[in-house]
Structures are given as structure tokens and as C-alpha cells.
């Protein structure tokens, strides 16, 4: 059974820019209230694991958080890889997109979407 956890115990945080971009995407794509932002990991990528970030419905094994007013779903098993991570938004000439500042990553790839722990 899934549970909702207080923001104070949420494993990830958003920068101001990331939260603003997430609100914008949710509004532009007309994401329904039954959807939340899925934050997680999956095997693959050049460093061993890829980050998962996208709007999705709640699944078995998910914990639900409200971070900066954003409903977030995360599988409990992914917390050990993501605890303390900050999700940021870059909007510069050289890079544009979400970036992940993960204190648990022992190495990352050049593109920033893959890591090993």
C-alpha cells in the first residue's frame, strides 16, 4: 500500500527554477490531478543508472510526497539512490533542461543523466 509522506522527509528537493518549470510543464500539457511527478532511477546509461523524471500515475510501491506544492511519486527502493538529491533547471546557451545534483553518485556521465552509486 502506498503512503503520503510529509515534505520535511522528502528525499529530493527542487530548485526554484525547477519548480517553476515543472508547474509550467504541468499546465502546458494539461496534466490531470491524478498524476504526479515520478522521480526515480532505472538501469542503463553510460554510467550504469539513468534518472527517471516525468508525470505519471501512482503505482504499487510508491510513496507520495508534496514538494514545493508538486505531487511527487517515488518507489521506496529508489530512495537509497536519490536521498538528498536536488533537481535543478538550466536554461542557458550551452545547456537547457533538468539537472540532477546527487550526493550519492560516485560518478556521472558527461550528459548528466546517468550515474553510478
Does this model's pTM top 0.85? My answer is no
Report the distance separating Cα 94 and Cα 10, nearest Å.
31
Confidence of residue 65 (pLDDT cuts 50, 70, 90): very high
Output 3 or 58, whichever has higher pLDDT: 58
Task: Please tell me the predicted confidence (pLDDT) of residue 111.
Answer: 56
| Mean pLDDT along residues 53-80 | 94
Enumerate the domain spans of the chain. 12-101
- Strands 3-5, 62-67: pairing kind: parallel
What burial letters (b/e) apply to 24-62, b meaning 16+ CB within 10 Å?
A: eebeeeebeeebbbbbbbeeebebbbbbbbebbebeeeb
Query: CATH homologous superfamily for 12-101?
Result: HesB-like domain (2.60.300.12)
Amino acid at each position: 500500500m502506498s503512503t503520503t509522506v510529509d515534505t520535511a522527509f522528502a528525499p529530493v528537493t527542487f530548485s526554484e527554477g525547477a519548480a517553476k518549470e515543472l508547474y509550467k510543464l504541468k499546465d502546458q500539457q494539461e496534466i490531470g490531478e491524478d498524476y504526479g511527478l515520478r522521480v526515480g532511477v532505472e538501469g542503463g546509461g553510460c554510467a550504469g543508472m539513468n534518472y527517471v523524471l516525468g508525470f505519471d500515475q501512482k503505482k504499487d510501491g510508491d510513496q507520495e510526497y508534496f514538494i514545493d506544492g508538486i505531487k511527487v511519486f517515488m518507489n521506496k527502493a529508489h530512495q537509497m539512490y536519490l536521498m538528498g538529491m536536488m533537481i535543478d533547471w538550466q536554461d542557458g546557451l550551452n545547456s537547457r533542461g533538468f539537472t540532477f545534483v546527487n550526493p550519492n553518485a560516485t560518478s556521472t556521465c558527461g550528459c548528466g543523466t546517468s550515474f553510478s552509486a
